[in-house]
Chains A and B, each alone.
Chain A
Amino acid sequence: MKKPIIFILLFILKLNGITAQVNVYFNPMFVGNKLELNKQYFIVNSTNSIQIETLKFYISNMEFYNTEQLVFKEKNSFHLIDAEDSTTFNLMINLKPNINFNQIKFNIGIDSITNYGGAMGGDLDPTKGMYWTWQNGYINFKIEGKSNLSIAKSNDFLFHLGGYQNAFSTLQTIQLPVQNSQVIPINMAIDKWINEIDLAKQNHIMSPSKEAVILSNKLSTIFSVTK
């Protein structure tokens, strides 16, 4: 009588014991190399300089697909990635065992429902500096730095992209083909995105706006997976 119970217990333990941990690794790059904060770069084909002082963004709603079928969805999937702290680049995701996937999907930023959800903790805690207070809502993507092109004080530029309501929604969904492996490196070509901005004309965004939507839409093109 006792034996089957033990077998069932062992089976349950086995199921719980084996979780396939996948490391999704975000790698912010600048002209083909790992982005270094505060380093002076030159914009391609010009003498104009640029340096990035802050890069922070949210990755949320991480999903794994096998062809078009959703096979795993991370619960409570909100990750703040901060270029100042490379440990935040690594998202360790505990998949169920024996899952095959060939695509991942995630959001850059925080969805509208969460934006209406009140005070939250962890990476969503408003002390993380990614929350607007005068018109509330999360900042999805924040980049700050200097460039001689910017006519602002100290040649600064700052782009705080956010907004979750209708026409000003800046949330981006990224879908990428990946190999079924334990490490998934995702490169982000930050220089490619910066090159889309005419820093001489535009040096800051700090509220939900049409401009924020335009620049956010351009983010979707900078992600790629290393083969």
Chain B
Amino acid sequence: MKIKTIVIGFIIILLFAFASADKSLFTTPKNWPKPVYNFKKNQLTDSKILLGRVLFYDPILSRNNTISCANCHSQYTAFTHVDHALSHGIDDRIGTRNSLALMNLAWHQSFMWDGAINHLDMQALAPISHHDEMDENIKHVTEKLQASKIYQLLFYNAFNDSTITGENTLKAISQFMLIMVSANSKYDKVKRMEDSFTKQEENGYRLFKQNCASCHTEPLFTNREFENNGIPIDSLLNDIGRKRITQNDQDYLKFKVPTLRNIEFSNPYMHDGRFKRIYEVINHYTNIQKSKTLSLKLQKQIILTSNEKVDLTAFLLTLTDKGFLFNPKFGFPKEVLLK
């Protein structure tokens, strides 16, 4: 009798385990590489994604409850900090880098401009703890969350446990970031034969493939590597890039190649936000100063006429995905946070 009950119990548990993992919450777009993130260790559910979204928009993550993730990663600007070359955080303190746009993070195995973080789950710890960003620590965050009835309920719904841990807090934030997939721009529609480029965009795409695609590789529009793209070091910031992490001279001035998706909305550009406009970026690439660690892909000079620059820009604008930028499922969770 007992064994039978145990077996049935097991079957029920297994059924629930499969039922709760809803595959439709995340789909890999056609012809994209396999995601890097291990979803088996953090299976997506609606309740965990909701919790992650609430945490993303809640300033409770910062020391004095004033700064949320969304402060520097606002949806309408491709989840980055628009208008600020260097992102600012708590008490108006200014950091040393331009916040990265957030999208398609399931395909990345390193995070930050210098790759200091090796896993999406651990990424949020950096801004939470950084003196100039949220100036908090994760232990205190979990204590603040534990004191909140709403969070007790959200965590219980998500993890069947109202005891709030660092692990579950971080996994929930990851879940929300994982579903931020941008794959429905005009470019994507053209690729799926649902739309077509104008002549100008078509020519821009040709120029892009010739001059830019080796680093900004399709379909993610980043090769996910670290490269020195030839911008001279800012002597005030003295940011040495990836070398800070590896302490390897070959990584001097190398930064993560950012995606070009939604570039129309993710200005300013570069790790220190030195360029405000797309044309400034293109002009930079046609006028590169050589240096020791300059990307091998930039050794040959890029030559573009002014018409070609316009065409290239026209193509870059086809990477805008309004369905991503204005999708309410990534927006402020007013149903929870305004209560």
Contact = CB atoms under 8 A, between A and B. Distances in A.
Interface of A: 115-121, 124-129, 131, 133-137, 165, 168, 209
Given A135-B116, A136-B118, A126 B41 contact: no
Given A119-B174, A127-B138, A127-B139, A136 B116 contact: yes
Contact of B119 (A117, A127, A134, A168): A117
Given A135-B245, A136-B116, 8 more contacts: A118-B174, A125-B165, A126-B167, A127-B139, A131-B125, A133-B129, A136-B119, A168-B247
A133 B128 contact: yes
B254 interface: no
Contacts of A125: 165-167
B150 interface: no
**Max chain A Cβ within 10 angstroms of own Cβ: one of B38, B118, B125:** B118
Contacts of B168: 119, 121
Interface residues of B, number: 29
B207 interface: no
Nearest to A125: B166
A131 B125 CA distance: 9
Given A119-B122, A126-B125, A136 B117 contact: yes
B121 interface: yes
B216 to A, nearest CB: 26
B119 A116 contact: yes
Contact of A136 (B41, B126, B139, B167): B126
B88 interface: no
A129 B139 CA distance: 8
A119 B171 contact: yes
B130 interface: yes
Given A126-B138, A127-B138, A127-B139, A134 B167 contact: no
- Judged by DSSP, the binding face of A is loop
B266 interface: no
Contacts of B90: none
A124 B166 CA distance: 10
Contacts of A120: 167
A119 B167 contact: yes
Given A126-B125, A126-B138, A133-B128, A121 B117 contact: no
A126 B110 CA distance: 18
B263 interface: no
B136 to A, nearest CB: 10
A124 B119 CA distance: 15
Contacts of A131: 122, 125, 138
A119 B244 CA distance: 24
A164 to B, nearest CB: 9
A134 B122 contact: no
15 contacts: A117-B119, A118-B42, A118-B119, A118-B120, A118-B171, A119-B121, A119-B168, A121-B166, A126-B170, A127-B139, A127-B166, A133-B130, A136-B122, A137-B118, A168-B247
Contacts of B42: 118-119
Shortest beta-carbon contacts, A-B, top 3 = A118-B121, A119-B121, A127-B166
B72 to A, nearest CB: 16
A225 B119 CA distance: 38
Contacts of B41: 117-118
Given A127-B139, A133-B128, A136-B117, A119 B166 contact: yes
Given A126-B170, A127-B139, A118 B122 contact: yes
Nearest to B166: A127
